[in-house]
Amino acid sequence: MTFQQWFFGGIDNPRVENQWGALHITTMVISIALMLAFYFITKYSKNRDKTRKIIIITLASLILFFEITSRIMYIGKKYVLFQPGTEDLSLIWIILPKPWCAISCWVLMASVVINKKFFYNYASLSALLCSVIFFSYPGVGFNNEHIIFDNIYSIVTHALLLTMSVTLITLRFTEFRYKDFWKLAICFIATFAYGIIEIYVLKIQSDPMYFMPGGDIQAGILKISYGLYLFLYIFLFIVYVNAFHLIQDRKNVKQFFAKHFKKKQK
C-alpha cells in the first residue's frame, strides 16, 4: 500500500466486524490512561490553572489537526485524484461538520475559545454522549480490513472526544447548575436546528443527530419501532443531561424540594 492509497483511500477495503477487538479495547484503555494522567498531572502541578489550560488547548489542537487533515483528504480525492464515488460530494459537504460526533469536535474546539462555563457544560455533555455511543458499538473506524487514514481519523477523533469531554469535567472547567440550565438548553436546541438544516435545507446528511426513522441506531443496531426509539431517545437524553446537574447541584435541588414540600404541608 502506497502513502497515497493510505491517505486518500480508493482501494478495496472490505468491512469486517471488529467491534471490541484488540484495537477497540486498546484505544479505550489509552483514553482512560490519558484522562487519569491529566488529572494527576494537574493535581500535583505547581500552577494548576496554567497546566489544565495547556492540556485542553493541546487536545483541542489535536482535534483541529485531524479535522483539517480530513478535509484536505476529501478535497484531494475529489478535485485532484477525481476518485470514483466523489462526483456528488459538494464543497459544502466536505467543509461542514455533519454527524453529531463531528459537530461535537467543533463544539469542543469552540469551547476553548469562548471559555465560558455554560459552553464547557454543553461541549462536554455533547462530546461525551457521542463518544460513549461510538465506543459501545462503533460503526466506523475499527470495521475495515485495512486501517487507512479515514479509519484513523474516526478512531482518534472519537478517542479525543471521550478524553477531552471527561477532562473538562474532572479538571472543573464545567459547573452543572440548574440556574444556567437554560443556556445549555439553547445550545442543544441550536445543535438540533443545525442538524435539521443539514437534512432539509443543505441536504448533506440524512440523519446527523440520529433521530430520523430508519437510522443506523434505530433500524441497524436496536431494531425497534421508530415510535419506541424516539421515546427512548428523548427520555434518555433528558435523563442524561439532568443526571450531571442533579449530582453537582444536589444541594440546591434538595433545598428547592425541601422548601416546596414545606409549603405544601402548610
Q: 139 and 256, same structural domain?
A: no
DSSP 233: H
Q: Is residue 184 part of a domain?
A: no
Same domain, residue pair 145 and 258? no
* pLDDT one digit per residue (tens) for the chain, 266 residues: 899 999 999 888 888 877 888 999 999 999 999 999 999 999 999 999 999 999 999 999 999 999 999 999 999 999 999 998 888 899 999 999 999 999 999 999 999 999 999 999 999 999 999 999 999 988 789 988 999 999 999 999 999 999 999 999 999 999 999 999 999 999 999 999 999 999 999 999 999 999 999 888 888 888 999 999 999 999 999 999 999 999 998 888 888 777 766 665 55
The SS3 of residue 15 is strand
Task: Report the predicted TM-score, pTM, of the whole model to 2 decimal places.
Answer: 0.93
Same domain, 79 and 197: yes
Residue 139 placed within a domain: yes
Residue 186 belongs to a domain:
no
Contacts of 144 (CB under 8 A, 6+ apart): 13, 14, 15, 16, 151
State which residues form the domain around 122.
Answer: 3-179+192-207
Q: With CA atoms as reference, report the closest residue to 118 among 107, 132, 128.
A: 107
